[in-house]
Amino acid sequence: MPIVTIQVTREGTSPGVDAVTADEKARLIAGASQLMLDVLKKPHESTFVVIEEVQLENWGWGGLPVGDYRKKLSGKSD
């Protein structure tokens, strides 16, 4: 029984959207389940998919909190 965990940021896919939509989550679940069927021959009924949404302040990139790293990349400061 496969358990697939997908971690996504809570930024959403459009400006001003602060979460992944229910439709996007449903599509992720369907896609991950299909991948398990195609690659491992595991039926959809035996595949569990967990989606974890990570708050912006809870992850880092390049040795910095991601917000700070993005500011550094853009050349902006507070």
Active-site residue numbers? 2
Tokens at residue 66, please?
A: 């991601």
Residue 53's nearest CA partner among 11, 13, 8, 21 is: 8
Which one-letter DSSP state was computed for residue 29?
A: H
Longest dimension (CA), the chain: 51
